[in-house]
């Protein structure tokens, strides 16, 4: 019984752990993204739109104007993000939340 309790405690921490820290990021809705893309086309705002899928998926499923920085090879492609720490960056993939 005690092992079962510890297992449940461990699993609850493991499952909820990824949510910690996400409060500091704003989730952009589809409608907000549409508006932002239109405003970017009009020159009203500027941001970097980053697709984090692998290259094959990026080539077939990406929002026009986005760049590809796959999670699997972020160490080799993160230079695409630039060096301006104040430039807004929006990451997207397949919608896992």
What value, to the nearest 5°, has the Cα angle with vertex 49 and ends 46 and 50? 150
pLDDT at 22: 59
Residues of the chain with pLDDT > 70, as a percent, come to 73
pLDDT at 49: 93
Domain-by-domain residue ranges, the chain? 23-92
| Record: fold of 23-92 | Oxidized Rhodanese; domain 1 (3.40.250)
Q: What is the pLDDT of residues 47-86, one digit of tens each?
A: 999 999 888 889 988 899 999 999 888 888 888 888 888 8
pLDDT tops 90 at residue 35: yes
Beta bridge partner(s), residue 92: 51
> How far apart (Å, rounded) are the C-alpha atoms in residues 91 and 48?
8
């Amino acid at each position: 019984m005690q092992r079962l309790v510890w297992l449940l405690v461990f699993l609850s921490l493991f499952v909820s752990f990824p949510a910690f820290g996400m409060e500091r990021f704003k989730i952009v809705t589809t409608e907000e993204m549409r508006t932002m893309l239109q405003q970017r086309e009009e020159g009203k705002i500027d941001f970097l739109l980053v697709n984090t899928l692998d290259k094959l998926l990026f080539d077939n499923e990406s929002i026009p104007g986005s760049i590809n920085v796959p999670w699997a090879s972020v160490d080799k492609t993160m230079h695409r993000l630039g060096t301006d720490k104040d430039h807004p960056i929006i990451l997207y993939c397949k919608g896992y939340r």
